[in-house]
Amino acid sequence: MLLKRMADDGWFLLGDSAGVLDPSGSHGVLRAVMSARMAAQQALHGGSRAATAYHDWMCDWFAHDMAELRAAYREAGDFI
C-alpha cells in the first residue's frame, strides 16, 4: 500500500507511513532510516523542489522493490 503523496510543502512521510510492502522484501527498516535521512537532506538543501524530489525518490525505490518482489514470487510459483 502506497500513499499517493509522500511529501508536500512542510511535511514528509517517512518509513511505513509512506508505504508498506510485503515484509519479505526486507527493506522496511532500511527505508525507515534512509527516508529520514533523505527528508532531512531535502528539507535543508532541496529548496522549492524538496517535496517532489523526495516523493520521486521514494516512488522509484518502491517501484524497484515491487518489481523484485513480483519476480521473486513468480520464480517461487514455478516450484509450487
Ligand X SMILES: Cc1cc2nc3c(=O)[nH]c(=O)nc-3n(C[C@H](O)[C@H](O)[C@H](O)COP(=O)(O)OP(=O)(O)OC[C@H]3O[C@@H](n4cnc5c(N)ncnc54)[C@H](O)[C@@H]3O)c2cc1C
Q: Is 69 a binder of ligand X (CB under 6 A)? A: no
Helix/strand/coil for 2: strand
Q: Is 1 a binder of ligand X (CB under 6 A)? A: no
| Distance of alpha carbon 26 from alpha carbon 59, whole angstroms | 17
Q: Which three cell numbers stand for residue 2?
A: 502506497
Q: Is 40 a binder of ligand X (CB under 6 A)? A: no
Least separation in angstroms between residue 75's CB and ligand X is 19
Q: Is 28 a binder of ligand X (CB under 6 A)? A: yes
Contact 37, 21 (CB under 8 A): no
Query: Which residues, 6+ apart, have CB-to-CB distance to 22 below 8 Å?
Result: 69
- Binding segment (CB under 6 A) for ligand X, from list 3-11, 16-24, 58-66, 68-76: 16-24
Residues that bind ligand X (CB under 6 A): 15-17, 23, 26-30, 32
